[in-house]
Every structure is written in C-alpha cells, then in structure tokens.
Amino acid sequence: MDSLHEGRSEQVMRMATKEHYRKQADKYRTSSQYIRMINEYPVLESSIKLCKNEKSIE
C-alpha cells in the first residue's frame, strides 16, 4: 500500500467560463464596497474610465 496516496482524494481544478467571470465583474461593480472605494479614490475612478474600452488579453 502506498502511504502517499492513502486517504487522498483527487480533485480536478477547472477554470470557470468567461461568461462566469463577466457576471462576477458586473456584480462587483454594483456592490456597495466598489462604489464606496470609487468615491474615496477619485484617481482610481478616472483610471478605470481610461481603461474601460481596452481589450483584455484572451
């Protein structure tokens, strides 16, 4: 019996779909924490606006 494998379960890690991450981002952008952060850091808000139409690396 191989003690290294005793009691271990194998898990397959998979990334979620792009659509999942887009929905998560949309949800985050409407959260109270995000809105508060934007209001407290105006430079962050202007930086986000500058990058809004940039293409993501895919």
Domain count, the chain: 1
Question: pLDDT over 90 for what percent of the chain?
Answer: 17
| Residue 13 included in any domain | no
| Residue 45 included in any domain | yes
| Residue 1 included in any domain | no
Q: What is the pLDDT of residue 50?
A: 84
| Residue 4 included in any domain | no
**Local confidence band at 3 (pLDDT 50, 70, 90 cut-offs):** very low
Answer yes or no: is pLDDT of 33 > 60: yes
Q: Alpha-carbon distance 27 to 33, whole Å?
A: 11
| Residue 32 included in any domain | yes
| Residue 57 included in any domain | no
- The dihedrals phi and psi of 27, each to the nearest 5 degrees, come to -65, -40
- More confident site: 52 or 43: 43
State which residues form the domain around 31. Answer: 18-51
Q: What is the pLDDT of residue 32?
A: 93
The model's pTM? 0.46
